[in-house]
Amino acid sequence: MTGVSQDNHFLPINLFEYENLASQHLSQMALDYYNSGAWDEVTLRDNRAAFERVKLLPRMLVDVSDRNLNTSILGEPLQLPLLIAPMAFQCLAHPDGEVATAIAAASAGVGMVLSTLATKSIEEVATVQQNFPNALQWFQLYIHKDRGLTRALVERAKTAGYKALCLTVDAPILGRRERDRRNEFSLPPGLHAANLATISRLDIPYEQGESGLFTYFTQQLNPALTWKDLAWLQSICPLPLVIKGILRKDDAVRAVECGAKAIIVSNHGGRQLDGAIASLDALAEIVAVVDGRAEVLLDGGIRRGTDILKAIALGAKAVLIGRPVLWGLALAGTAGVSHIISLLEDEFSVAMALSGCAKLQDIDSTLVKQVSVSGS
């Protein structure tokens, strides 16, 4: 794949190799921003460890000569059960940033969720739909103290053709990411929070001794947000509402009662409350209480095709990946992200075959077993 090889013969063959190589292509500030978690990064690590605690129980002597990975999310078709999670400031990894990611996602037939804090605007990313009319694009929303600004963002997303509104609810304030604080994280000259700069001239400030993003959240986002505010949000936007950041059964029930069409089980990639449960460990109970009234997705720690298989076996309709996309961007822009997606697709197809699954409907809870960690 042109643009991915680091020399004439080397091509990463898994996401972990991409991670290692990305460190050579990112500034220390960008690398720490992308890869860090909150405080001691316990939850960040546990998101991966959770997949290792789930073991597979494959079926034998099943015809898997023809495998179908297709699914749909909120009625929209996907080539495999995968979306790109909302991630801020992708131009730190590559000049084309979120546009490059959107092209890769659309060409692979997977979904993409655009962050409020993107470095390419809602409208720029939506232009990808001109060449890929079936592209599944959602817009991720942070509700600001300025309701007029929030309304403007929502209206722009609707006008631009985004198919759902994805509200992040696990960030009333920003988690303490100590690597960002040490680096005094801010955007370098020439980069801006594009969606905000165009309507309010807001941007990520530089602040000595602090992360500029932490300061931004403190100054601009609304920590008083409650369940009742979802009615206001839905009153200004007819798009399906997706709630991202649910880890508790009772919150999942409330989300459905408040009109959510989908729930993303997520701990924000271990970047908010350190010590929070791993997303995968929270999944099955949430699927049970939702009981088909909304679609349930999962993010956090997906690095292998077997991870996708385990998440679906535990009830997820699809998964979202985050950091690996940034590693692909850092190495080769659109080509790198496309390769990340293709690696996961191939691994997932192989994992399905070796587990005795010819289609997604064959993947169920009988394929997995939770194993206790020795000494725990």
Pick out the residues of the known binding site for FMN.
86-88, 115, 140, 168, 244, 266, 299-303, 322-323
Q: Which of 294, 327, 151, 306 is nearest to 229 (CA)?
A: 151
Q: Identify whether the C-beta of residue 352 lies closer than 8 Å to the C-beta of residue 311.
A: no
Environment class of 209 (CB within 10 Å of its CB; exposed 0-12, middle 13-18, buried 19+): exposed
Residue type, 51: F
Query: What CA dihedral angle connects 140, 144, 147 and 152, to 10 degrees?
Result: -40
Cα 354 off chain centre by: 27
Q: Which of 15, 166, 27, 152 is nearest to 87 (CA)?
A: 166
User: Which active-site residues does the annotation give?
Assistant: 268
Round to whole Å and give the CA distance between 202 and 188: 15
Q: How many CB atoms lie within 10 A of CB 144?
A: 20
Helical (H) or strand (E) element with 246: strand 241-246
Return the structure tokens found at 46: 């546990």
Give the pairing type, strands 111-114 and 137-141: parallel
Residues belonging to the binding site are 33, 86-88, 115, 140, 142, 168, 177, 244, 266, 268, 271, 299-303, 322-323
Report DSSP letters for 5-16, one per residue.
-SSSS----SHH
Round to whole Å and give the CA distance between 225 and 323: 27
Residues belonging to the binding site for glyoxylate are 33, 142, 177, 268, 271
Residue type, 26: L
Bridge partners of residue 369, in order along the sequence: 55
